[in-house]
């Protein structure tokens, strides 16, 4: 494939060191996948559903003062990260389908990498914050309102955004020190960090190290923190005498546990499968793209169906709308 050969690379001199940078990268992800157009249609459905669902969550939490409490500030932040990740990833994929264009400029590629990973990192760390909220609510119920308040949770979430932004900024900046003199073909479905730094032709050991740091701090670390928080919750529940009270307390964690499972289990499944045997490129691309796309679509529905307060707000909105419609008919 002529476009896959680095005949279009341009050279630049930066700080007395010659770096070879491509004008563009070629995202090869779905180019060799049979029936890929049907998958793009499915992704478009996911995109519309995600944007609609998370927008509804925004509106409900912003407009109903009863939801202006720490737990729902965390849920709002999760919806914001879901909304951002969906818009950072899927529109670029749809551009490939609609315009049959798999090339992306060097600068746009780094920008795409930054936003996808920042929003994904915020999702992961926000789930830790929500786990902490449930831990304090169940293990220290009498001190909950003293320890967890709106100011505290807002400060923690600002720290989450700052940390994720700083970490991913470092990762992206380090890409700019790499030369690409062999190929500009990225074997992924977006400007993924690993497939990009591994095609460089100079020393990428620092990039490899940062990839491991990101995996540890944004996947394994958060998952471990959530597991430890739930071990504490289960220990606290074991000290409650009646099963009814245990189930009532555990029910408040149901939505969070489902969201954690939807976010982490697909990623862990991919990593474990890759350790057992090499994955076919198409299998890896489909599985990883779904693991990024599905959680933002499902999260709003999980919270809507499993959270009493949000269900109440939805019913109130529907009842108000039906009343207005009935009045219009009577006129």
**Residue 65 to residues 33, 68, 72, 255, Cα–Cα distance (Å):** 48, 5, 11, 21
SS3 of 98, please? helix
Whether the CA torsion 177, 178, 184, 187 is positive or negative: it is: negative
| Pairing between β-strand 103-105 and β-strand 17-22 as defined by DSSP bridges | unpaired
What pLDDT is stored for residue 12 in this prediction?
Answer: 39
Model confidence at 246: pLDDT above 60: yes
Report DSSP state, residue 141: G
**What's the predicted TM-score (pTM) here?**
0.86
Mean pLDDT, the chain, integer: 84
User: Which has the higher per-residue pLDDT, 12 or 202?
Assistant: 202
What is the mean predicted confidence (pLDDT) over 94-100? Answer: 73
Looking up tokens 């050969």, which residue turns up?
5
What pLDDT is stored for residue 59 in this prediction?
Answer: 86
Rounded to 10 degrees, what is the CA torsion of 314, 130, 220, 194?
Answer: 50
Q: Strand runs (DSSP E) across 37-165, as ranges?
A: 103-105
Domain ranges of the chain: 2-322
**Residue 148 to residues 73, 143, 253, 265, Cα–Cα distance (Å):** 11, 8, 16, 28
Weakest mean pLDDT among 49-53, 156-160, 318-322: 318-322
Weakest mean pLDDT among 50-59, 235-244, 301-310: 301-310
- Contacts of 142 by beta carbon, 8 Å cutoff, 6+ apart: none
Return the structure tokens found at 216. 């540890």
Each residue of 188-241: pLDDT tens digit? 888 999 999 999 988 899 999 999 999 999 999 999 999 999 999 999 888 876
CATH number of this structure's domain 2-322: 1.20.1070.10
Pick the closest to residue 89 from 221, 213, 188, 223 (CA basis). 188
């Amino acid at each position: 494939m002529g476009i896959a050969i680095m005949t279009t690379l341009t050279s630049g001199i930066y700080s007395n060191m010659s770096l070879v940078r491509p004008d563009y990268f070629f995202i090869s992800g779905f180019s060799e996948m049979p029936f890929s157009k049907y998958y793009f249609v499915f992704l478009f459905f996911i995109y519309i559903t995600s944007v609609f669902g998370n927008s509804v969550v925004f509106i409900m939490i912003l407009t109903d003062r009863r939801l202006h409490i720490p737990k729902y500030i965390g849920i709002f932040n999760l919806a914001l990260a879901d909304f951002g990740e969906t818009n950072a990833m899927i529109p670029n994929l749809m551009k490939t389908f609609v315009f049959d264009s798999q090339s992306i400029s060097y600068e746009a590629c780094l920008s795409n990498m930054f936003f996808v990973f920042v929003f994904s990192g915020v999702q992961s760390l926000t789930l830790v914050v929500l786990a902490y909220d449930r831990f304090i609510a169940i293990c220290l119920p009498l001190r909950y309102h003293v320890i967890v308040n709106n100011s505290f949770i807002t400060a923690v979430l600002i720290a989450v955004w700052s940390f994720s932004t700083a970490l991913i900024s470092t990762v992206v900046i380090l890409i700019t020190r790499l030369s690409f003199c062999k190929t500009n073909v990225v074997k992924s479905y977006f400007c993924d960090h690993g497939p990009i730094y591994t095609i460089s032709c100079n020393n990428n050991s620092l990039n490899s190290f940062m990839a491991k740091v990101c995996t540890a701090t944004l996947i394994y670390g958060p998952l471990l923190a959530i597991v430890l928080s739930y071990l504490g919750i289960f220990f606290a529940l074991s000290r409650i005498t009646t099963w009814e009270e245990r189930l009532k307390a555990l029910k408040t964690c149901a939505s969070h546990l489902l969201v954690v499972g939807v976010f982490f289990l697909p990623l862990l499944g991919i990593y474990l499968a890759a350790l057992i045997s090499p994955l076919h490129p198409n299998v890896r691309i489909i599985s990883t793209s779904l693991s990024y796309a599905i959680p933002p679509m499902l999260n709003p529905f999980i919270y809507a169906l499993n959270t009493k307060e949000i269900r109440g707000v939805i019913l109130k909105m529907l009842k108000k709308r039906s009343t207005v419609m009935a009045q219009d008919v009577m006129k």
